[in-house]
């Protein structure tokens, strides 16, 4: 199994459909969870893809949380995935433009939005809506972007945080599927945008239904 995984993930350019890309990502997560990753992130792997054009097969948008390193939890190597991380995977124009670049210019068929339990940014949004006291500075922007998900689930619900984590992933997926430059390829089936949740303790990634 390990040998098969190594062969598959050593040719990331092979996953050129949304379905194949998703399968490759989830296979990598299974290797990570089972304690059998095949990628060690050594400099020889970096050098192997240094020349020529990059051919990543997925772009992942995740949280900045230090416990959720995306290349590690999906057992990915140099050149295989593009990674964007913001607090609670909040979108802004730079994030959307970056994803548009990866999809439009690099031909990547899969966008994954990955939320996680005990997310501090979502907790800040819940706290803000419960107290009416927003944070200052640019953190206010991050909280503002998460707030609609918290409002939808009800900020005073005891389970507001885990429900808002899930809802915020789905809202982020919907926003990306409606992005000006992504909506066409998504409608044509050339690109998919999926949402998922990461379990901090088990390392497992679970896809969310739309
Ligand atoms: Zn987080």
pLDDT digits over 15-60, tens only? 899 999 999 999 999 999 999 999 988 899 999 999 989 999 999 9
Number of H helices, E strands in the chain: 9, 5
Q: Under a CB-based contact definition with an 8 Å cutoff, are residues 116 and 63 in contact?
A: yes
Would the annotation count 63 as a binding residue? yes
Would the annotation count 82 as a binding residue? no
DSSP 8-state secondary structure symbol assigned to residue 50: S
Q: Which CATH class is domain 18-207?
A: alpha beta
Q: How far is the CA of 194 from the centre of ligand 1 (A)?
A: 18
pLDDT at residue 5, as a whole number: 36
Q: How far is the CA of 101 from the centre of ligand 1 (A)?
A: 24
Q: Which residues surround ligand 1, an ion (CB under 5 A)?
A: 63, 65, 119
pLDDT at residue 41, as a whole number: 85
**Distance from the first to the final alpha carbon of the chain:** 31
Below-50 pLDDT ranges, the chain: 1-11
Q: How far is the CA of 39 from the centre of ligand 1 (A)?
A: 25
Report H helices in 34-159: 43-48, 70-73, 93-106, 120-131, 139-153
Would the annotation count 96 as a binding residue? no
pTM for the full model? Answer: 0.93
């Amino acid at each position: 199994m390990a040998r098969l995984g190594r062969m598959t993930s050593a040719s990331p350019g092979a996953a050129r459909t949304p379905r194949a890309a998703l399968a490759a990502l989830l296979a990598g997560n299974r290797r990570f969870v089972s304690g059998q990753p095949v990628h060690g992130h050594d400099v020889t792997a970096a050098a192997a893809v240094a020349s020529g054009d990059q051919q990543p097969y997925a772009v992942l948008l995740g949280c900045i949380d230090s416990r959720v390193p995306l290349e590690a939890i999906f057992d990915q190597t140099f050149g295989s995935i593009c990674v964007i991380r913001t607090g609670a995977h909040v979108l802004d124009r730079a994030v959307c433009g970056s994803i548009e670049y990866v999809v439009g210019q690099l031909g990547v068929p899969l966008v994954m939005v990955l939320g996680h339990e005990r997310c501090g940014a979502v907790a800040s949004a819940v706290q803000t809506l419960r107290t009416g006291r927003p944070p200052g500075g640019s953190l206010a922007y991050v909280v503002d972007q998460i707030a609609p998900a918290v409002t939808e689930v009800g900020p005073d619900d005891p389970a507001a945080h885990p429900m808002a984590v899930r809802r915020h992933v789905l809202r982020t997926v919907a926003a990306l599927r409606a992005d000006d430059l992504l909506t066409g390829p998504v409608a044509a089936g050339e690109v998919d945008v999926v949402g998922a949740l990461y379990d901090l303790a088990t390392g497992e990634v679970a896809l969310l239904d739309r």
